[in-house]
Amino acid sequence: MSRKTLTLFDPALVKPAIVDAFKKLDPRLQWRNPVMFVVYVGSLLTTVLWLHALGGHGETSSGFILAITLWLWFTVLFANFAEALAEGRSKAQAASLRGAKKTVMAKKLREPRYGAATDTVAGTDLRKGDVVLIEAGDMIPADGEVIEGVASVNESAITGESAPVIRESGGDFSAVTGGTTVLSDWIVVRIVVNPGEAFIDRMIAMVEGAKRQKTPNEIALTILLVALTIIFLGVTVTLLPYSLFSVAATQSGSPVSITVLVALLVCLIPTTIAGLLSAIGVAGMSRMMQANVIATSGRAVEAAGDVDVLLLDKTGTITLGNRQASAFLPASGVTETVLADAAQLASLADETPEGRSIVVLAKQQFNLRERDIHALGATFVHFSAQTRMSGVNLKDRQIRKGSADAIRAHVEAQGGHFPADVSAAIDTVARRGSTPLVVADGVNVLGVVELKDIVKGGIKDRFAELRRMGIKTVMITGDNRLTAAAIAAEAGVDDFLAEATPEAKLALIRQHQAEGRLVAMTGDGTNDAPALAQADVAVAMNSGTQAAKEAGNMVDLDSNPTKLIEIVETGKQMLMTRGSLTTFSVANDIAKYFAIVPAAFVTTYPQLAALNVMGLATPASAILSAVIFNALIIVFLIPLALKGVPYRPLGAAVLLRRNLLIYGLGGVVVPFIGIKLIDWLIALAGWA
């Protein structure tokens, strides 16, 4: 995606938006927004009245009707413009995505293995299950999963991140995205999507769909706005009989004109929020895209704003992915050096970061140099899920390292004894939040290697922020309770789930949901898929497996697990912007009443001038000023609609008080000032 950020009123966006604003005058489009449709009909009505007035039978001066008519049309156009501008921005983003979606030719493998014969086919013809070979310099034709090979991939087209990433078969780094480019080596990829289902397609659809598919809250708000419109329609329509009666009862003045009633109606109905409503929705989705998150629907983004509980994997999210050996704790009667030596031997062939860190620590602390396992005639014992140990077999030694339980079982199975002091050391290590790794040589338990978890810098602040948002964080880890508790305390999460199995995760989510909480979780592995599917908001890492991505309702292209905070903020912003502008819009009505009501009936009841608290110059300028204010405020609020009302992680009550003051009280006060100012300008120009 293009990283270029367009300024709010970038001429490249404004010009087409102006054109679109006129194109959107199509009644079929207007009908979709009932509130603005009322304005539209009102504008048509006053236009007819104006033409009628030109013919000399006007209900009031044609100049006045023209002025009102023009500003009513501007109101419609401004709302159209706001929508067009928001769409323009999203389209610009989508266009840059489309650029990435060039048709590429793919080398389709006849058999799913490296070296098989290939056919060259168009990328768009690839179906799910096809297997392709991608070599250095090739563009990946579609989303898929690496089944063989390893390659560095440039994903900047999707993530904007220029540093290449490694994609390899197996594990959690096997997913590749269409439109990205392989920089080196080769990979064999199994395509996992059919044409039109790829991420980029989904992103483009999301942008374009933001306008069409209203979110539940948007629908609910629309109902409220329509209800208000119907009421105010009733208010203005009945004013004509009231005015006729008043004129008859007092034998003075003339009834209120239709033009004034239309002006009053347009001023009263919530045009400000209605005119900006779809712009807010489009802008929200566009912000999600800027954050490199693909949501399956606007509904998912809104739901993110409601999240109460956030489940986070410890590893990679809260801690740096890798634990590091930090100490050797020998059993009694064993020296530290012996332990370190054994541990290093057992780890020589262990390519995991933990294994490497043991080798490095032994080297640093005891100057034990790495030895060549082939020279030692050693055979490396790989970690297996059954034994949950790894190690090395030398001629007469069987060195094993593994979790305490595994080693205990291993030693006791051979008739050995698990020393009590090692058990104590294990507890101590666990209590510190580290992971104990026990090393045994044959039946002799040598001691414990402490593997320390490194909590990510700054993560504690992020959790504090979430807490202020009202979101509870729960750390999920496979570690035992003691370890988990220590890390949880260090990272500042509210709760943790230790010794987590996929079933336990699922149960935890269900339990929170049963208590009436909305649960969000991030995940990347295949075993996260059930939990992701159960969670209300599930963000899958783009680097994760296909299963995870399909189970989630959002995908984070940056694969940054704390992205959820931004997602929540965006969700909240969308709602807050709508709520605040609704409040503002309705609060505006007070001032508009004070401007229009005295002006509309002053011929019948001159004493109503007492309500002209703004001291507006003439009845005509008062009504015109209110209409102009009503139109211009839409333009003035476009930046707010597009950027969103800023979210601050304060408590609900504080946030409400703050927004009520700004948009409620502001909504009462601002129009008094604005209308007075416009009236003053009109008077200054001598049009009053």
Partner 1 sequence: MTPHAWLLLGLYLLVLLLLAKPLGVYLAAVVEGRAAWAARVGGHIEAGIYRLCGVHPADGMGWLSYGLALLLFNGLGLLATYTLQRLQLWLPLNPQQLGNVSPDSAFNTAISFVSNTNWQGYGGETTMSYLTQMLALTVQNFLSAATGIVVAVALMRGFARHSVREIGNAWVDLTRITLYVLLPLAVVVAVLLVGQGVIQNLSPYQEATTVQATVYDAPKLDATGQPVKDVQGNPVTAAVTLPTQTLAMGPVASQEAIKMLGTNGGGFFNANSAHPYENPTPLTNLLEMLAILLIPAALCHTFGRLVGDARQGWAVLAAMTVLFVVAAMAVMSFEQQGNPTFAALGVDQAAGNLEGKELRFGSADSALFAAVTTAASCGAVNAMHDSFTPLGGMVPLVLMQLGEVVFGGVGSGLYGMLVFAIMAVFISGLMIGRTPEYLGKKIEVYEMKMMAIAILVTPLLVLSGTAVAVMTTSGRAGILNPGAHGFSEVLYAFTSAANNNGSAFAGLSANTPFYNVLLGIAMWLGRFGIIVPVLAMAGSLAAKKRLGETSGSLPTHGPLFVTLLIGTVLLVGLLNYVPALALGPVIEHLLLWAGR
Q: Annotated binding site for ATP: which residue ranges?
A: 350, 354, 383-390, 401
Kindly provide the residue ranges of all beta strands, DSSP E only, lying in 192-228, ordered along the sequence. Answer: none
Is 589 an active-site residue? no
Q: Which of 160, 3, 24 is nearest to 85 (CA)?
A: 24
Of residues 138, 143, 313, 589, which has the active-site annotation? 313
How far is CA 485 from its chain centroid?
A: 30
How many residues bind partner 1 (CB under 8 A)? The answer is 78
Radius of gyration of the chain (CA): 34
How big is the CA angle at 269 (ends 672 and 67), to the nearest 5 degrees? 70
Binding pattern to partner 1, positions 70-109, x when CB under 8 A?
A: ----------------------------------------
| Binding residue ranges for Mg(2+) | 524, 528
Order of strands across the sheet that contains 444-452 = 324-330, 444-452, 435-441, 398-402, 389-393, 379-381
Is residue 163 involved in binding partner 1 (CB under 8 A)?
no
* Shorter beta-carbon distance to partner 1: residue 372 or 515: 515
Q: Which of 348, 604, 648 is nearest to 469 (CA)?
A: 648
| Binding residue ranges | 350, 354, 383-390, 401, 524, 528
Q: Which of residues 494-553 bind partner 1 (CB under 8 A)?
A: 515-518
Distance in Å, CB of 87 to partner 1, minimum: 23
**DSSP secondary structure of 617-682:** S-HHHHHHHHHHHHHHHHHHHHHHHHH-PPP----HHHHHHHHIIIIIIHHHHHHHHHHHHHHHHH
* Shorter beta-carbon distance to partner 1: residue 460 or 467: 467
Distance (Å, whole) CA 126 – CA 21: 40
Q: Binding partner 1 by CB under 8 A: which of 579, 666, 669, 683?
A: 579
Q: How many residues does this entry show for the chain?
A: 688
Is residue 313 involved in binding partner 1 (CB under 8 A)?
no
Q: Which of residues 580-599 bind partner 1 (CB under 8 A)?
A: 580, 582-583, 586-587, 589-590, 593, 597-598
* Shorter beta-carbon distance to partner 1: residue 593 or 680: 593
* Shorter beta-carbon distance to partner 1: residue 364 or 607: 607
Q: Binding partner 1 by CB under 8 A: which of 116, 420, 656, 677?
A: 656
- Single-letter residue type at 306: D
Q: Binding partner 1 by CB under 8 A: which of 190, 400, 432, 572?
A: 572
Q: Which two tokens stand for residue 366?
A: 């005891």
Q: Binding partner 1 by CB under 8 A: which of 60, 118, 246, 444?
A: 246
Contacts of 202 (CB under 8 A, 6+ apart): 294, 296
Q: Binding partner 1 by CB under 8 A: which of 63, 170, 234, 321?
A: 234
Q: Binding partner 1 by CB under 8 A: which of 607, 613, 643, 684?
A: 607
Is residue 221 involved in binding partner 1 (CB under 8 A)?
yes
- Among the residue ranges 86-94, 170-178, 218-226, 496-504, the one whose residues contact partner 1 (CB under 8 A): 218-226
Q: Is 297 exposed, middle or buried (0-12, 13-18, 19+ CB in 10 A)?
A: middle
Q: Which of residues 252-281 bind partner 1 (CB under 8 A)?
A: 264, 268
- Single-letter residue type at 465: E
Is residue 217 involved in binding partner 1 (CB under 8 A)?
yes
Query: Which residues are catalytic, by number?
Result: 313
